[in-house]
Structure 1
């Protein structure tokens, strides 16, 4: 790629002169001490961690911030009740993606149940069912889901203490960790740990000793809170540091990516943050390669290339999000028009039209694509018995289909969905196919 920023290691290997080592040391010192460089003051066997600011970095950061304005504008155009459905779907995708990356088996049904349970505990609507005198077991990943739900809280902050980091780890990963891999120190691991690559070779050794782990994680907290470098840069640098330290035997990836989401939330919109793990999972080779290349001792602790890689992944997430939201908003506008047309065509009551629009919004933004009688009643601020007659009105005109009877749940009918997606009615498609197969008639 023309103008691509080259790491110190790549430049060293490209230098065929007898002065390669001298040139390498001179360039490393020059990058570290440049006025535009952000120095962390964090010293590792790789060298002091630092981030240079090449023009690619400035351009990429500016593009991200501009795209965030677009996403923020589009996000506020989505009806408030539908934002929750979109967030719920985003959290579901985030948990599935990060579990997949770490080899943790999870199903969409499990994850969605965890999100629902987490939300109920947050809103105080959870009920404790008992069987044989024991409280019902909480769903898998519920605490993990609760953390991601907390990202929507404007007061959510990056952990300020080592104990808070351990608390996050317990909620994110501890229940899924085998007994012999749980932390054995006061907060973190005591023994050394090696990370194996795809071919069984050790590609990384975590920091040795709990005391040193604690010191470096304290430096990580200070780095995130630093006001001497851009928040995007410090968040990504802190993510590298957490994974480099590797404070636990297992579960570091899931914990580290949640901490990354928490630190990025200061700068980026929630939809962008919630789409990042999926993009990382889809580009995991580039993601893991960024770690291994950065840890090359010839790079002398420079994190520039690593930061650029994560920034580019954020950019990919944003572009996909802008495309997706654009389609959804266009469909939402068409759904509103379609509801008005159906109201006139079938002489629908106002409440029936309102429920139909609610169902169509769920079709566009929701993870289930169905609406319960209770949800319809709450939306209308009526009792379930009163709402039932408006649901029946929609059913009578074949505008909805029932997916469950107890409890009652419904979805948009195939006709409504095809209209929403800009497709002709299925009957018209069949008639067209029949006409084509019959061929032209003779006079």
Structure 2
């Protein structure tokens, strides 16, 4: 039998019993099933009558479809890591930067916040170029937002052990993005609104969910969430998706909850699985945004008794689909890079007699290979590797700065590369 939401179950079963009894019996059957996964989290759920309840604990049943998707997710992550292990460092960093551009763009787009991919790419570059300085965050809009993601990219997972940790992340992630009237009005989170106003999540014409009204209730909910997040009894993938739902259901801030919730999911998946998957969360949800909204509406419905089975199944399917797209792209780019390496070797062999003195074929090939990785794996040319980065990489290998500069000058004069930016200097390969 197909697994139906409890809100619809009474319409499926043929029985003369009271529909409420039918639903209650099925709920107890699911909640006490041998394989059920229960949590200590009690979300605030809403009935159509606008009455609310928080008496139901979140649970889900690991259906065969869910277990299959979870296994597929883990295998996809391993395949992604396997391909990445055969890619050079520049290719990896450029591809992650490209994913990050889309991730920031789409997490804002879901909320109706307008940004441009070029703007995001510029900030990524500025943060990267300033990485060795004490205050390494771009002063442009989204500078601190992108820096937080980049810390995840560089292997610095977030730790949430106290309620204040949520606020610290929020302040950094959304610095400059929240208007003064929408900043938290409580000690840490939002509190009761003035004039008896009620916070409602939904469209301008239809409310979908009313989260906890007071900071006391928010703190109580998130204290339970912290304990759940730091408990390793539940598999990480399921825990991540449940946490995503519960954070959004609690809605601890007046604005920015969606962006923060997706960041938390992104960071967690990056640390537990792979960064390519983690940096594709908002991209995946944006591609299925109407389904994403429907999943939350159903999960917030009190008539579903906090059963997140179908919520987990749906979000897993969306994430697995995005992983498969990433796999296709990575395999294709790896093949193109292998072809480019062959083209570079051929060009070096054919033109070796024209190289200046003290400029080896190895150095010329190395510069071209750096630029090939940059061209193939960058979302936009402005995100590509800069001349000073090439010089610095070679310097760490014992190659004098002057030699790398002469190699770049020669390749430009030989029309193997071209100058595409003067400040900072940046070249693009032409022979692939």
TM-score scaled by length of structure 1: 0.86
1:42 aligned onto 2:58: no
The equivalent of 2:157 in structure 1 is: 156
The equivalent of 1:435 in structure 2 is: none
The alpha-carbon distance between structure 1 residues 23 and 371, as it changes in their structure 2 partners (threshold 3 A), is: closer
The equivalent of 1:396 in structure 2 is: 413
1:57 aligned onto 2:70: no
1:207 aligned onto 2:205: no
Deviations 1:109-140 (A, max 9, x none): 32223323434554326689xxxxxxxx8121
The alpha-carbon distance between structure 1 residues 310 and 395, as it changes in their structure 2 partners (threshold 3 A), is: same
The alpha-carbon distance between structure 1 residues 376 and 173, as it changes in their structure 2 partners (threshold 3 A), is: closer
Contact residue 90 and residue 373 of structure 2 kept, 8 A: no
Deviation of residue 262 (structure 1)? 2.3
1:411 aligned onto 2:428: yes
The equivalent of 1:427 in structure 2 is: none
Deviation of residue 360 (structure 1)? 0.8
More displaced 10-residue stretch of structure 1: 382-391 or 294-303? 382-391
> Which SS does the other structure have where 2:223 is aligned?
helix
Contact residue 346 and residue 397 of structure 1 kept, 8 A: no
The correspondence of residues 33-432 of structure 1 with structure 2, limited to 5 A, is 33-44=32-43, 45=53, 47-120=56-129, 122-124=131-133, 138-191=139-192, 193-198=198-203, 200-347=205-352, 349-369=361-381, 370-381=384-395, 382-413=399-430, 416-417=431-432
The alpha-carbon distance between structure 1 residues 228 and 380, as it changes in their structure 2 partners (threshold 3 A), is: closer
Contact residue 157 and residue 268 of structure 2 kept, 8 A: no
Aligned-residue CA RMSD (Å): 2.1
Deviation of residue 386 (structure 1)? 2.9
Comparing both chains, which one has the higher relative contact order based on Cα–Cα distances under 8 Å and sequence gaps of 6 or more? 2
The alpha-carbon distance between structure 1 residues 24 and 343, as it changes in their structure 2 partners (threshold 3 A), is: same
> Which SS does the other structure have where 1:206 is aligned?
coil
Contact residue 194 and residue 203 of structure 1 kept, 8 A: no
The alpha-carbon distance between structure 1 residues 142 and 325, as it changes in their structure 2 partners (threshold 3 A), is: same
The alpha-carbon distance between structure 1 residues 122 and 36, as it changes in their structure 2 partners (threshold 3 A), is: farther
Higher radius of gyration, 1 or 2: 1
Deviation of residue 391 (structure 1)? 1.8
Contact residue 194 and residue 202 of structure 1 kept, 8 A: no
The equivalent of 1:22 in structure 2 is: 21
TM-score scaled by length of structure 2: 0.88
Contact residue 5 and residue 56 of structure 1 kept, 8 A: no
Distance 2:426 2:257 in 1: 40
Please, which runs of 5 or more residues in structure 1 have no aligned partner?
129-136, 418-443
Contact residue 94 and residue 374 of structure 2 kept, 8 A: yes
Aligned residues: 405
Deviations 1:36-91 (A, max 9, x none): 11111223425211111111111111111111111110111110233222222222
Please, which runs of 5 or more residues in structure 2 have no aligned partner?
44-52, 356-360
Distance 2:305 2:342 in 1: 60
Contact residue 117 and residue 126 of structure 1 kept, 8 A: no
1:31 aligned onto 2:30: yes
Deviation of residue 35 (structure 1)? 2.0
Contact residue 90 and residue 370 of structure 2 kept, 8 A: no
Distance 2:389 2:130 in 1: 19
The match for 1:7 among 5, 8, 12 is 5
Distance 1:322 1:367 in 2: 16
